[in-house]
A and B are shown apart, each in its own frame.
Chain A
Amino acid sequence: MIFRIFRKELLDTLRDRRTLMTMLVIPTLIFPIVLNVFVEISKSFEEDEQQKELKVGVFGTNSQHLKQQLQQLPKSLGKKMVLIYSDSLKLDKDVKAQNIDLGLYHHYTTDQKTLVLDWQFDATEIGRPERAEAFNAAIEAIEQQKRLKALGIQIQEIEPVKANYNNCASDEKMIGKMAGGFLPYIFIAFGFIGCMYPAIDLFTGEKERGTIETLLTTPVARWKILIGKMLVVVSSGMLAASCSLIGLFISIEYLDLGAEKEIMEVIHGMLNLPFILSLLALLFPMVIFFAGVMIPIAIYAKSFKEAQSIITPLNIVMVLPAMIGFFPGIELNLNTAFIPVINVVLATKELIAGTLSFGYFLSVFSVMLLIAGLAVLLSYRQFGKEQNILS
């Protein structure tokens, strides 16, 4: 009988355009669209920046020489137009007014041995600090070469020590620890949103439409009705979260995100069956927990609007812990493994990094299952209250 109720509620839910949008369409399309737009905008900014001719204003006693040096810099450092200023205040004013992109003030130290270059720019303009640093490094390299040549010294002679820093962490671990917080954030957010409309529609909506009364007069135990409906809410949450992950993977697979080839290979390597199954195993009790929290509210609320106004802020409360995943240094340990939602976020990070032990996986899964069970119990108690289900 539970399956019969599930089947009917699923059919009813799949015919609701609003639920379909939040359950399937938005989660699947959001990443391909957002990432595509983001990549295209970034690319066009970068191209514009590279093609843009920067105006460099030079002030100081040796301006003519610096102008020549700047003009002789390789084209790969970007186009530039060098203007010599005789008034430092005028250059300052022009940089601030953005008539000049980079202001270069220079002077020698009192011992006349070091040329000091002061760069002035508006750092809110994309690429200005990077271009200034690149020009500066190129000029410094030219001057250093000249001086070493004059002294007859090879560059190796003034480099007594050369350090190499080697990262022993695997690429998987690096991605997991640095960017792994993003993945649980996505499925928590979409898992929650996916549950929201079916929960409201199947409980508050049924009260509002006046169909709950007739359903409860059938010879089906209330707990079976609750479980049948709850399964649809959980399925919707799982579907929405899975769709968002599919959308993300489609983006990685088919969009040129500008990531390095090695990183893309690592990401492809991660997408194996055990990884996906483990991810779904972590997601499943959490979505039951979400459903178990939302359903009592949906049962209590007298109207769709009231349910929505309570559940929407709850979204922030539930999804905020997912942000923990973005902070480096917070690890899955004996304490964090017992904090609901946060434990799933941290376990997912470890899963991506390939460092999640079976013991921790089991602990997180058990804690979430227990919490989910309590949430279901809460739903059952609320569903049993006459004043909640009958108007």
Chain B
Amino acid sequence: MITVQHLSKTFELTKQQRKELQTQAKTANAVKNISFECQPGRVFSLLGPNGAGKTTTLRMLATLVKPSSGQIQIQGIDALAHPEEARKHIGFLTGSTGLYARLTPIELIDYYADLYGVTAVNREKRKAELFELLNMHDFLNQRIGKLSTGMKQKVSICRTMIHDPEVVIFDEPTSGLDVITAENIIKLIRSCKDQGKTVIFSSHIMSEVDLLCDDLAIIHKGELKYQGTMDEFKAQMQTKNLTEEFIRIVQTQNLAQ
């Protein structure tokens, strides 16, 4: 379970960034006072246009970035006070995740299992399950640099799940992937949900959101503009489909500002 309370993040702007953004301000608020909760066995989707603050929010949840203020609890652990403890319960996957090209999948998985402190017995069991599920046996001993995009994505999934995390964070996980490779991710998210894991993911692809989401939040310019269940969202839609409704909300906010 993830609980977020009054979360904010302010970045200091470099001279170059001030020039690019055409602003005199020395800081920028990437996330402003957001609060939400993600429940186990449900998929929470964070939607928003580019630069809305989705990645910053997910990075704060993954303890990669320190919030300027607010509280984050991961499985009841204060993630700000005990980030290393919180990370033990998190699996983190992004669309731009890189892998060590000079290692083999088996070496990489063993490395991450060690970093997550997975015991030898659990590791072998987990590896066997994941290799079977993802059909990875044919390329386990090849260098990752020589694998196809689809194979690499399977290795990434395996790395994310090797320690059997209770909370899984996906940051635009299908971005840049072909339909078949993206399908592996969709299956993974469904499987996480079925296993009672807490899933939070950000995406631009509304069909994915429609397919997977139980709860959703729309973030725009660092602020939460909508939060509720998918059913509630659909019930109050003023347009024909999710994409149009998303555009309408963002445009309304732009006009209001």
**Residues of A near any B CB (own CB < 8 A):** 1, 4-5, 8, 11-12, 15-16, 209-211, 213-221, 386-387, 390
CA distance A215 to B62 in the complex (A): 11
Which of B12, B98, B116 sits near A218, CB closer than 8 Å?
B116
Q: Are B94 and A220 in contact, with the CB atoms below 8 A?
A: no
Is there a chain A Cβ closer than 8 Å to B90's Cβ? yes
Shortest Cβ distance from residue A374 to the other chain B in the assembled complex, whole angstroms: 25
- Residue-by-residue, is B53-92 near A (CB-CB < 8 Å gives 1, otherwise 0)? 0000001001111100000000000000000110110101
| A219/B97 contact (C-beta < 8 A), A12-B103, A15-B102, A386-B66 known | no
**Residues of B near any A CB (own CB < 8 A):** 11-12, 14, 59, 62-66, 84-85, 87-88, 90, 92, 94, 96-103, 107, 111-112, 114-117, 159
Shortest Cβ distance from residue A208 to the other chain B in the assembled complex, whole angstroms: 8
Of the candidates A16, A209, A214, A386, the one having the most CB atoms from chain B within 10 angstroms of its own CB is A214
CB-CB under 8 A from B100, the residues of chain A are 8, 12, 209, 211
CA distance A1 to B87 in the complex (A): 15
Q: Are B87 and A217 in contact, with the CB atoms below 8 A?
A: yes
Q: A15-B103, A219-B84 are in contact. List 16 more A-B contacts (CB 8 A).
A: A4-B111, A12-B102, A209-B98, A209-B101, A210-B96, A210-B98, A211-B98, A214-B97, A218-B112, A219-B85, A219-B115, A219-B116, A386-B66, A387-B12, A390-B64, A390-B65
Q: Are A390 and B102 in contact, with the CB atoms below 8 A?
A: no
CA distance A218 to B64 in the complex (A): 10
CA distance A252 to B169 in the complex (A): 60
Q: Are A1 and B65 in contact, with the CB atoms below 8 A?
A: no
Q: Are A221 and B84 in contact, with the CB atoms below 8 A?
A: yes
Shortest Cβ distance from residue B182 to the other chain A in the assembled complex, whole angstroms: 18
CB-CB under 8 A from B64, the residues of chain A are 213, 216-217, 386, 390
CB-CB under 8 A from A386, the residues of chain B are 64-66
CA distance A387 to B116 in the complex (A): 25
Q: Are A390 and B59 in contact, with the CB atoms below 8 A?
A: yes
Which of B11, B59, B87 sits near A219, CB closer than 8 Å?
B87
Shortest Cβ distance from residue A380 to the other chain B in the assembled complex, whole angstroms: 16
CA distance A11 to B63 in the complex (A): 28
CA distance A317 to B11 in the complex (A): 34
Q: Which residue in chain A gives the minimum CB-CB distance to B9?
A: A386
